[in-house]
Amino acid sequence: MALLETLTGPGELRGLSQGQLETLAAEIRALLIEKVGASGGHLGPNLGVVELTLALHRVFDSPKDTLLWDTGHQTYVHKLLTGRQAGFDRLRAHGGLSGYASRAESPHDVIENSHASTALSYACGLAKARALAGVRDRAVVAVVGDGALTGGLAWEALNNLGGRPDLRAVLVLNDNGRSYEPTVGGIAAHLGRLRGADSAGGVGDVGGGAGNVFEQLGLAYRGPVDGHDTSAVEEALCAARTADRPVVVHVVTEKGRGWPEAEANQLDRCHVVRAASLASAASPTSPSWTSVFGEEIVRIGEQRTDVVALTAAMREPVGLLDFGRRFPDRTFDVGIAEQHAAVSAAGLALGGLHPVLALYATFANRAFDQLLMDVALHRCPVTLVMDRAGVTGDDGPSHNGMWDLSLCQAVPGLRVAAPRDATRLRELLCEAVAYDDGPTALRFPKGRTGADIPALDTHAGIDVLRNDPGRDVLVVTAGPMARLGLEVADQLYAQGLGATVVDPRWVAPVNPELVNVAAHYARTVTIEDNGRTGGMGAALSQALGDAGVRTPLRSFGLPQTFLEHGSRAQVLARYGLSTGDIARQILADAGAAGGDRRTDRPTTARN
């Protein structure tokens, strides 16, 4: 029997010999490569923290001692050591283990953060709470990556911890020289200098002196320590545990360690791998949304020298890798610092350029205040491109991009486009960067674009996708939900109810002509993959009311709740965003109202 299979909890690690620990580390890496390779997930980060996680659980007594992980995608080894081995057969699948820390799974998971740079603030607050309660026998330990130190929130926490020498907290700096890609900026250079220091000495003695930023902030410092030497890491952690002040333990690790494919990948060290079933599938018939954006922004960049691009440590995932290679002087990776990225983009715009800021939709939430007060207030021509908008699925509640449209609706002067297919993405991106009277945003989902959906006609900027005889139902769809809207119209037609399906292209603010069109229909429905509160449907309902239009409107969207992980199709269906559920509700509404039904042949672009 493998050693890993005999473990029932982390307490049993303390009885293992050094040889057994090495065997266990090898077993963990083999299991991760097998299971994560099959399911997909964050493989590189977890291969790099095997020995560090073993050491943490040998020195600290979780869950009595609190282990906080920043970010939660590096907790796979932690999950294996806390009794969740069996769950790895369904990692990131509906009903299986989350790809991040999950309070519902285990008392060993205390926070569910998957947005970087937060764990130190959690640790600061928890340490203060323990101090106020007089609790001295429970450690607070936060594991933070060097990439997360490019985020300002981490330094706000370090500033406060440095001002409280009475607090007991251990801050483990997992320094692997990268976040998704290699870490950028002055902090990366500073950590590089510390890594070159002599590694002998005690707490506060190594890498110390006037050049150590942590000590200058008032924190004790120990390191750098070889993060793949369990004994060395344990020694450093034991010393930090007994300290009576906040301590930074600087641990140097190698992302992707133990897997040749990751070690050879110098870009992201296999940060995320795709599921084996997807990787071995035949070539897709349509491109990804991200790749279409990436190709079009390069084409635009070739034509316009004023277009520059920004990213927050994710050039490749958001489609800016080729732009960066083609125009390195016009590409800015600011690290995990979305707030800085937004204000920096405003500064670039004030300097006469047109910045394109590409972020995951869920991470764009972090820059809302800056989008509002620094970009929009100054009417800066900045284009925000939000990848992974709507339901992303397997990454779980923190990564679903279902909040961005609600937030964007509150920003005066911000125009938001939602392309339904690859052609519309190219068109709308060109329209966005051509607009110079304020900010614009473009949102699109994770995955493949699918086949193009041509319009029958375009009226006042609104694409008409289907036009049945009669005016029974106006179906307004947001972006890629157009395909679902057309399927719903098919079912309505089969039941004798005619529908007109339109795509407004620019979903915010509400096109006034859409209000005029809705006034001539018996009912209007909206379909979107954003939260219903503050989404497209809510905005159209308000616009109808303001105009005195009494056409009833039903909004189909996501509930304002944190959605469990699963595939995009599973999550959408779970919350009623399926063809059958939507059609049944519309038919029920029409039946309750005694609406007439049409039986003429519909007209769509597919006929």
**Residues tagged active-site:** 255, 338, 366
How far from each other are the two terminal CA atoms of the chain, in whole angstroms?
Answer: 62
Separation CA 472–CA 518 (nearest Å): 11
Residue 545 to residue 589: CA distance in whole angstroms: 20
- Cα–Cα distance list, 569 to 142, 230, 387 (Å): 35, 43, 18
Residue 488 tokens, joined: 């719903």
Sign of CA dihedral 428, 429, 430, 432: positive
Which strands form 66-70's sheet, in the order they lie side by side? 66-70, 140-145, 170-175, 247-252, 220-226
CB 128 within 8 A of CB 423: no
Dihedral angle at the C-alpha atoms of 87, 89, 93, 95, nearest 10 degrees? -40
> Any binding-site annotation on 261?
no
254 is in an annotated binding site: no
Q: Would the annotation count 73 as a binding residue?
A: yes
Residue 212 assigned ligand-binding role:
no
Do the annotations mark residue 129 as ligand-binding?
A: no
CA distance 489 to 495: 10
- 147 known ligand binder: yes
What is the full DSSP assignment across 419-462?
Answer: -SSHHHHHHHHHHHHH--SS-EEEE--SSB--S----SEEETTE
The verdict on whether residue 340 carries a ligand-binding annotation is no
523, β-bridge pairs: 473
Query: Which residues 6+ apart lie within 8 Å of 157 measured at CB?
Result: 120, 121, 123, 124
> Distance between CA atoms of 535 and 151, rounded to whole angstroms?
29
Lookup: tokens for 100: 């991040």
Q: Residue 396: which residues within 8 A CB-CB, separation 6 or more? A: 92, 98, 99, 100, 102, 114, 563, 564, 565
CA dihedral 245, 246, 250, 255 (to 10 degrees): 150
Alpha helices (H) in 328-451, listed in sequence order = 338-350, 361-364, 368-370, 404-408, 422-434
Annotated binding site for Mg(2+): 146, 176
Annotated binding site: 73, 114-116, 146-148, 176, 338
